[in-house]
């Protein structure tokens, strides 16, 4: 009868005391391999495995390995490779579960936010010139409005108010150009709103002029209010 090796399961001569293939000590002779005991109960069986990646001193020495445990080796399962950037996963720990793969950053790259911050739009030279012209047009009409409201007052008082309003408008213009450089409206929408404002102001001015037949002072007062409101709205829309 041939002797079967308890470690590798191969047949050897009956006169041999050691396996010619793996060198293990031979047990008594067997005629059928199915009569072998389970490998865990055979003599000379060693449950050897390599240390986990967490026990390695140098991360460069981490290599993938295959477990020698029979339950895993019989199924052809292998322990996954452990990288130095993640915690070691012990498949033999009680209640252990597969680690969830996280996001993998690009090598050598900085993290980039998903939503980039929106930069405000800066006013160009051409848009600043058009806005300045619209502002001066609104300032001019607002001065007419102040004169219409103060039409019944003495000319000296009316002139003082008009000069003060003109000085305030001229001082405000460079300040707006310097410190307010990021408008909300684009040039197309700005011109559209200016056109609508001009249309509404023109209609209101016709209504105010129709009052002249009833009362001349009231007509001047109404036209002054219309010009003042239209001028202020035009100046605001010029740089909004």
The answer to whether residues 36 and 6 touch, using CB atoms and an 8 Å cutoff, is yes
pTM (two decimals): 0.46
User: pLDDT of 13-70, one tens digit each?
Assistant: 777 777 888 877 775 544 444 445 555 555 565 555 555 555 555 555 545 545 555 5
Q: What are phi and psi for residue 103, nearest 5 degrees?
A: -70, 140
Residue-number span of the structural domain to which 203 is assigned: 125-239
Integer distance in angstroms from the first to the last C-alpha of the chain?
104
H or E stretch at 109? none
3 domain-assigned: no
Mean pLDDT (the chain) is 70
* Best CA proximity match to 139, nearest among 239, 43, 44: 239
The owner of tokens 């993998």 is 104
Contacting residues for 180 by C-beta, under 8 A, at least 6 apart:
239
CA–CA separation, 82 vs 88, rounded Å? 6
Q: How confident is the model at residue 101 (pLDDT cuts 50, 70, 90)?
A: low
Structure tokens of 227? 């010009």
- What residues does 6 pair with on adjacent strands? none
User: What's the pLDDT band for 109 if we cut at 50, 70, 90?
Assistant: very low
Per residue in 186-217, pLDDT tens? 878 888 888 898 888 888 888 888 877 677 77
Question: Which residue spans within the chain are E strands per DSSP?
Answer: 3-4, 11-12
- Asked if residue 155 is part of any domain, the answer here is yes
In-domain check, residue 116: no
Size (the chain), residues: 240
Could you tell me if residue 56 is inside a domain? no
pLDDT of 149-181, one tens digit each? 887 788 888 888 888 888 888 888 888 878 777
Domains held by the chain: number: 1
């Amino acid at each position: 009868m041939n002797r079967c090796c308890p470690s590798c399961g191969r047949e050897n001569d009956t006169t041999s005391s050691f396996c010619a293939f793996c060198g293990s000590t031979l047990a008594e002779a067997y005629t059928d391999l199915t009569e072998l005991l389970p490998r865990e109960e055979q003599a000379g069986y060693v449950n050897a495995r390599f240390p986990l990646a967490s026990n390695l001193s140098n991360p460069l020495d981490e290599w993938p390995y295959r477990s020698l445990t029979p339950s895993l080796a019989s199924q052809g399962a292998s322990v996954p490779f452990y990288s130095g950037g993640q915690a070691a996963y012990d498949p033999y720990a009680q209640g252990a579960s597969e680690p969830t793969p996280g996001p993998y950053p690009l090598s050598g790259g900085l993290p980039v936010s998903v939503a980039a911050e929106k930069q405000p739009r800066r006013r160009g030279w051409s848009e600043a010139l058009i806005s300045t012209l619209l502002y001066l047009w609104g300032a001019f009409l607002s001065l007419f409005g102040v004169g219409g409201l103060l039409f019944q007052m003495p000319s000296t008082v009316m002139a003082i108010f008009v000069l003060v309003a003109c000085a305030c408008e001229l001082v405000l213009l460079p300040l707006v150009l310097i410190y307010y450089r990021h408008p909300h409206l684009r040039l197309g929408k700005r011109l559209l709103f200016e056109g609508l404002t001009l249309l509404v102001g023109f209609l209101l001015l016709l209504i105010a002029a129709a009052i002249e037949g009833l009362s001349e002072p009231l007509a001047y007062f109404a036209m002054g209010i219309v010009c003042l409101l239209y001028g202020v709205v035009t100046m605001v829309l010029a740089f909004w």
